[in-house]
Amino acid sequence: MRLLSLFLLVPLAVGAQQITVSTAASLTDAFKELGPKFEASQPGSTVRFNFAASGVLLQQISQGAPVDVFVSADQDTMDRAVAQKLIDPDSRKNFVTNSLVLVEPGKDGPGLKTLQDLTGPAVRKIAIGKPATVPAGRYTQQTLTSAHLWTVLEPKFVQADNVRQVLDYVSRGEVEAGFVYRTDATLFGDKVKIVLTPPGHTPVSYPLAVVSDSKQKAVAQSFVNFLFTDAAQQVLAKYGFGKP
């Protein structure tokens, strides 16, 4: 909640059309590029981003954090937002897709080839997102459960707060393997090596919606609409996101 608390310390200009978009951490780089483009397309409007794991963002919204648009990395978290009446269900849309991948350190990795290799002695620690709050962690749990490896590997898990933290652990060689999104792994270049794209999990699709308590619903809806423009989709594609 550190980022969000910083927002609260900055007074808004009277009449300013400013929105806060709480968005899954895996969209950090793409949205940082999209922010200025949206502002250029909407004179007088500004957008601020709060990046964290989807479950953490939902918890913040449920506790009254001033958020205008919620972007989740999975459908389950958005379903919970609907159940809690925290978002406008009519504004909900899927706007990008992604892939879960198994990665190892780019240098001196264990040379993994299959999921089964994770059970070997060369792999002592495996970084995953916390399944309770991180969608990538839930996708990982689905994958390993499907492969009958979740219980076997559980003693090796190092649970992270979001996918970027998983990548940090892997890229620094603090763990021998980790599960992240392909888009994040690609950003880290040769610091990590993509081993495989595992099956056995629900498709990775990202929904977004206007938050029910938004004080700037018109601007919030404009941001949602902007993400479906050719200009925005080109930026998202550049960072490796697929179309819904």
Q: What is the 3-state secondary structure (H, E, C) of 96-146?
A: EEECEEEEEECCCCCCCCCHHHHHCCCCCCEEEECCCCCHHHHHHHHHHHH
- Judgement on whether residues 185 and 219 belong to the same structural domain of the protein: no
Task: Reply yes or no on whether the pLDDT at 1 is more than 70.
Answer: no
Say yes or no to pLDDT of 7 above 80: no
Residue 39 lies in a domain: yes
Judge if 109 and 168 occupy the same domain.
yes
- Contact call for residues 237 and 97 (beta carbons, < 8 A): no
- Please check whether residue 79 is in contact with residue 61, taking contact to mean a CB–CB distance below 8 angstroms: no
Same domain, 45 and 10: yes
Domain co-membership, 157 together with 184: yes
pLDDT band at 16 (very low <50, low <70, confident <90, very high): low
Model confidence pLDDT, tens digit, residues 111-158: 999 999 999 999 999 999 999 999 999 999 999 999 999 999 999 999
40 lies in some domain: yes
pLDDT value of residue 11: 41
Is residue 211 located within the same domain as residue 190? Answer: no
Q: Which residues, in sequence order, are CB contacts of 161 under 8 Å at separation 6+?
A: 52, 53, 56, 129, 130, 133, 134
In angstroms, the CA 136 to CA 79 distance is 16
For 78, the domain range is 2-97+205-238
Number of domains present in the structure of the chain: 2
Q: Work out the number of other CB atoms within 10 angstroms of the CB of residue 238.
A: 11
Q: What's the pLDDT at 114?
A: 97
> What CATH code is carried by the domain that includes residue 189?
3.40.190.10
In a domain, 61, yes or no: yes
Name residue, tokens 């949206």.
38
Residue 243 is assigned to a structural domain of this protein: no
244: in domain: no
Same domain, 51 and 121: no
Residues 88 and 108 in one domain: no
pLDDT, residue 55, reads 95
Residue 119 lies in a domain: yes
The pTM (predicted TM-score) of the whole model is 0.85
Here the tokens at position 72 are 């989740």
Q: What is the pLDDT of residues 191-227, one digit of tens each?
A: 999 999 999 999 999 999 999 999 999 999 999 999 9
Token reading at 178: 């980790």
Decide if 77 contacts 200 (C-beta within 8 A): no
Backbone angles phi, psi at 220, to 5 degrees: -60, -45
Confidence of residue 10 (pLDDT cuts 50, 70, 90): very low
What contacts 216, CB < 8 A, 6 or more positions away?
A: 17, 18, 19, 68
Residues 111 and 187 in one domain: yes
Pair 134, 188 in one domain: yes
pLDDT, tens digit (0-9, with 9 covering 90-100), for 217-241 = 999 999 999 999 999 999 999 999 9
Looking at the structure, tell me whether residues 87 and 107 fall in a common domain: no
| Same domain as 91, residue 119 | no
Residue 48 included in any domain: yes
- How many Cα atoms are found within 13 Å in the side-chain-facing hemisphere of 155? 6
Both 86 and 129 in one domain: the answer is no
Work out the average pLDDT over 57-78.
97
The reported pLDDT for the residue numbered 244 is 86
